Amino acid sequence: MSIKVLFFASLADLTGMRETEVDSRAHTSVASIYTKFARDFPRLEEHRASLLYAVNSEFVQPDSPVHDGDEVAFFPPVSGG
């Protein structure tokens, strides 16, 4: 199945991409997609505990399922001052 993946802010800087597509097996979760990228970009693990996850523009929990054609987005924590 094909899934569009979006990275925002510092996550885009760490991966060198803002958008990509992945082929994934059925019955996958948002967290498992993040893990797939963390293998290639180990510094992503530093952000895992504070991430916001979205599927099709709706915030979700990490264990939420992902389906063919979905758009998954990863957001780092936002700080202000």
Q: Does residue 80 lie within any of the structural domains?
A: no
pLDDT in the model for residue 81: 56
Q: Does residue 12 lie within any of the structural domains?
A: yes
Query: Is there a contact between 74 and 4 (Cβ–Cβ < 8 Å)?
Result: no
Q: Give the CATH number, domain containing residue 71.
A: 3.10.20.30
Q: Does residue 42 lie within any of the structural domains?
A: yes
77: tokens are: 């924590």
In whole angstroms, what is the distance from residue 70 CA to residue 3 CA?
A: 5
pLDDT in the model for residue 31: 96
Q: Does residue 50 lie within any of the structural domains?
A: yes
Count of structural domains, the chain: 1
User: Which structural domain, as residue segments, surrounds residue 46?
Assistant: 2-75
pTM for the predicted model, two decimal places:
0.91
Q: Does residue 81 lie within any of the structural domains?
A: no
Provide mean pLDDT across the span 8-35: 93
Q: Does residue 37 lie within any of the structural domains?
A: yes
